[in-house]
Chain A
Amino acid sequence: MTPKVVLVTGVSRFLGGHLAARFAANPDIERVLGVDTEPPPRDLLRRMGRAEFVRADIRNPLISKVISTANVDTVVHASVTANPAGPTGRTVMKEMNVIGTMQLLAACQKSPKVQKLVVKSTSAVYGSSSRDPAVFTEDMGPKDLPSSGYAKDAVEVEGYVRGFGRRRPDVNVTTLRFTNFIGPRIDTVLTRYFALPVVPTVLGYDARVQLLHSEDALAVLERATLHDLPGVYNVGGDGVLLLSQAIRRAGRLNLPVPSMAVPTVGGFFRSARLVDFSPDQMRFLNWGRVVDTTQLKKEFGFTPRWTTQQAFDDYVSGRGLKPFVDPETIAAAERGILDAAARFR
């Protein structure tokens, strides 16, 4: 079933905005509504073309009116976010994520026209600890329930989505658990982290990181909206990078910090407005997380175009990150030593 009227939340951010732009470019969709608390940046707005922007707060019951008067049949909930808006943004972020989802779902439940709900969730719902299996499948749960931050928000959001699915069995609900996004254009905690000249890591830990190219993320969200594919799916690129390996690939310097000093260093980076890591993201940097994407490929019918490594390399070259030591210099040094050795033969 091709949707007629699509409502996308979180359009002033990268994913929501570009998703609305893709829907606007699709002639089969009659109307595209984008919702957010603040208007999208101008270049994003231009891309969105015929999509209409509704400045509304999904925490407000007004959203119900928008959904019913516009005859929305498909809701894409892409506003659940890990990136707090500012130093005090964490409480606001939690409210937007959790209360916003509750309101949005209540509005969807009220409107009989809604046929499909696509939720952008995160693989952070699996938590991150030393006692976890190496690879998470969709049926696994976290060993320790995330106690704060984005991961907890996401667990609660998924809980409400499941509740909604029970109350409205006629609605196709697709929950997508994304791994961390990366790409030349998207701005996340992780893209800012790898762009630091000296990248702090936790001493003695090396996380396994699975990434998803932002274009693949958009393609998955688009596919979930245009086709009926209910269920919960892990979404991530193939392959894994170690955190140390990713830092080397980006040509950054690695600064291992003893775990005792991590809160202090984290605080410094937060107050310097460089990177704002929440405690659950700190845990992610210790152990990392890898998800199984068999369901995505078999049931959902999508194979990411970029592997984790390719996506990361695309991010590095797209951002123009200059490595500290030029790979050419290293290769030249290698040749030089070998030539010298050959002369000794």
Chain B
Amino acid sequence: MAGARVIPLHDPERDAARRSRHVEVVPEPAQQQSETPDWERRLADLLSFARRRIAGDYQIDEFGFDRDLTENVLMPPLKPLYEKWFRVETIGLSNIPTAGGALIVANHSGTLPLDALMTSYGIASEHPAQRHMRMLGADLVFRTPLLGALARKSGQTLACNPDAERLLSSGELVGVWPEGFKGIGKPFKDRYKLQRFGRGGFVSAALKTGVPIIPCSIVGAEEIYPMIGDIKALARLFGFPYFPVTPFFPLLGPLGAIPLPSKWYIEFGEPIRTDVFGENPADDPMLVFNLTDQIRETIQQTLYRLLTQRRNVFLG
């Protein structure tokens, strides 16, 4: 990091978008009065959604992504969590392209993958193109009944190179948490210390498809369930990668599953181009290692910077 980056308060692109949206809004009030009120339109939406679901009249893609269900059922409950509970602030959303493939690489933390949910909600609701981030998940997710089916419907797929490359080359926005269980299940004392970044499979997928890599640093997720212990025996019994002990779980039972209301910051860094390395760059292991390190270092430094700017865990 060569010093702090200047973040413009008024992004010209977004301002323009807002202004143009404003122009469109102008004729609407006149129309609205003569036509249906808001609650009625919402009822109509709800009914038509119910009809589509009963008749099976919707499209899913080859990965099992059900856009209709995601937008209408899975996303809305995240809104209060995102806006009221964690009061998430996104920085640098303009670094995510409005179209075309891109790979978002983020740090993982928080015992339960709420960071992934919040990041995808943030992009879907605040990015001008409202893109759906397609996440790459561990095979444990897809092996688990209910969860596996739900994960596929919400646009996730197995973290493997063929899937990542297929998504990226078809112009999707892909999210990956390369630390995996090592990151999400790390003890509280190791908070904001990035773990090993796997084998760099995500970098070779991006190199093969030539899409930019966007480092993403998430601050706040570490404090939602401070993991102070890990009951290995129970983890083995249930087949989990870890069995967390937090100050409130399992002590308070289900109440312990309420995350602490920390204040979150999600910063998307400058995209790293991967189409400038010549022929077959993915076959050069050194390049893959170096890029992996560079991305890991960028995220780590951004985390440190965001942490020094944060004065209070809960108030931000």
Q: Give the interface of A toward B (CB within 8 A).
A: 130-135, 137, 140, 202-206, 208, 210, 239-242, 244-249, 259, 290, 309, 325, 327, 330-331, 334, 337-338, 341-342, 345
- Digitize B145-170: 1 where CB-to-A-CB distance is under 8 Å, 0 elsewhere: 11011001100011010110010000
Which 8 pairs across A and B sit closest by C-beta, in order of nearness? A204-B145, A248-B56, A249-B56, A204-B146, A133-B162, A206-B149, A130-B143, A130-B142
Evaluate contact between B47 and A240: CB separation under 8 angstroms.
Answer: no
Smallest CB gap from B64: residue in A: A208
Besides A241-B60, A330-B55, A338-B43, 17 other A-B contacts (C-beta < 8 A): A130-B143, A131-B143, A131-B158, A134-B63, A134-B162, A135-B63, A137-B162, A205-B145, A205-B149, A206-B149, A240-B62, A242-B66, A242-B153, A245-B60, A247-B56, A325-B54, A338-B44
Contact of A334 among B51, B62, B158, B166 (CB under 8 A): B51
Q: Tell me the B51-106 residues at the A interface (CB within 8 Å).
A: 51, 53-64, 66
A-B contact number at CB 8 A: 102
Q: Is the CB of B163 within 8 A of A133?
A: yes
Chain A residues with Cβ under 8 A from B153's Cβ?
206, 242
List 16 interface pairs A-B (beta carbons < 8 Å), by A numbering.
A131-B142, A134-B166, A140-B162, A204-B144, A206-B153, A208-B62, A240-B60, A241-B56, A245-B56, A249-B55, A249-B57, A330-B54, A330-B55, A331-B51, A338-B40, A341-B40
With an 8 A cutoff between CB atoms, is B37 at the interface? yes
- Cβ–Cβ < 8 Å partners of B55 in chain A: 248-249, 327, 330
Q: Which of B16-62 contact A (CB under 8 A)?
A: 36-37, 40, 43-44, 47-48, 50-51, 53-62
By beta carbon, the residue of chain A nearest B160 is A133
Does residue B139 face the partner (Cβ distance < 8 Å to A)?
yes
Q: Main secondary structure on chain A at its contact with chain B?
A: mixed
CA distance A49 to B62 in the complex (A): 41
Per the bound structure, the CA–CA distance linking A196 and B61 in Å amounts to: 26
| A337:B43 contact, CB within 8 angstroms | yes
A240 interface neighbour in B61, B144, B148, Cβ under 8 Å? B61
Chain A residue at minimal CB-CB distance from B139: A131
Which chain A positions have C-beta within 8 A of B47? Answer: 334, 337-338
Contacts of A240 in B (CB 8 A): 60-62, 64
CB neighbours of A132 from chain B (8 A): 158
Residues of B within 8 A of A341 (CB): 40, 43
Residue pair A130, B54 in contact (C-beta under 8 Å): no
Identity of the chain A residue whose Cβ is nearest the Cβ of B166 in the assembled complex: A135
